[in-house]
Amino acid sequence: MAGGSFTFVMVKAYAQEHIYKHPWERVTSASWRKFADPENKRTLSHILEVDTLNRKLDTLSGKLYTTRALTIHAPGPWFVRKVIGQDICHCVESTVVDAQSKSMQLTTRNVSLQKFIEVEEKIRYDPHPDNPTGWTICRQETSIRIKPLSALASMAEKVEQRCAERFMQNSVKGREVMERICKYLEAESSGMAL
Amino acid sequence: MGAASKRDKKNSSTSTSPCAHLRSAYHNCFNQWYSEKFVKGQWDKEECVSEWQKYRDCLSEHLDDKHLSRFLEAEAAFGSVFQEGKENPVENSSK
């Protein structure tokens, strides 16, 4: 960012919002279950492995910190494959859940392929201001940065476009899965309340 | 070229991870604790400790190749969400 030199930063950022008509407790519970449920694994088949690397509970503040490792199948078009040479991407997801203030924030970043690309996805779940006990608002921001001077830089636009399309598709699938789990948890809890 | 065979490779319903069972046990315990206690205000006690211990010992043992050390380095580099005094699942990353 030095004055006098032209720094071309290739970043694309996308933001999405979604309202779940379920309480925050149920929606965040669903988020934890998203990748593990066998039926949902077929929908989210791009997620190959999810492992918890670390976790910490602050028993005074009611904050839960978790780090997870995600292995994702991310096939690119042939011209990307030629450059990158692999279809698998490893990511780290860091999560903070504040049970007192009822907020959950996840940040996922790639740890492999960093020579070429930096992807960061942030998701927040908060009670919806219009209906804090009944609804949850999910805000998602994704940024894609192709590393300048990397072998991908010359096809940055194409790669970004493909990434963006893929993320949109995965977001839709993710929401489908979340809604399904929320309905299941809702049925489960009303069954128990007999 | 069969698209079907590509799908089969991706969609293995059984994980190839050697720690898969311990992982499931921990995740099931965690999910239950999260929904029934944590979000309902009971955060005063650490739970699922033995499930976590067994699972992470398995990870330390099996995920010792390029992957675990890379994940942990990345976590440190990202300025981990953890404050000081974080537990590290691997005392020494075995090379």
- Furthest CA-CA distance within chain B: 56
Model pTM?
0.80
- Tokens in use for A15? 């933001």
Judged by CB atoms closer than 8 Å, whether chains meet at B27 and A49 is answered as no
Residues of chain B found within 8 Å of residue A93, distances taken between Cβ atoms: none
Contact B71 A28 (CB under 8 A): no
Q: What percent of chain B has pLDDT over 70?
A: 49
Nearest to B33 by CA among A29, A127, A93, A136: A29
Structure confidence by residue, pLDDT tens digits, A16-43: 999 999 999 999 999 999 988 777 778 8
- Under 8 Å between Cβ of A61 and A71: no
pLDDT digits (tens, 9 = 90+) for A134-157: 999 999 999 988 888 777 777 777
Reported ipTM: the value is 0.83
* Percent of chain A whose predicted confidence (pLDDT) is above 70: 93
Distance of alpha carbon A28 from alpha carbon A125, whole angstroms:
7
Percentages helix, strand, coil for chain B (3-state, rounded to 5) are 55, 0, 45
Q: Where are the domains of chain A?
A: 15-188
Select the residue of A42, A51, A96 nearest B81 (Cβ to Cβ). Answer: A96
Residue range A63-67: average pLDDT? 95
Q: How far apart are CA A106 and CA A31, in angstroms?
A: 10
For the domain bounded by A15-188, which CATH number is listed? 3.30.530.20
Q: Chain A closest CA to B95's CA: distance in Å?
A: 18
Q: How many CB atoms lie within 10 A of CB B9?
A: 8
Residue-level pLDDT at A150: 78
Residue B69 tokens, joined: 């050390």
Q: Which of A29, A51, A67 sits opposite B23 (nearest CB)?
A: A51
Closest C-alpha to A128, from A112, A139, A117, A118: A139
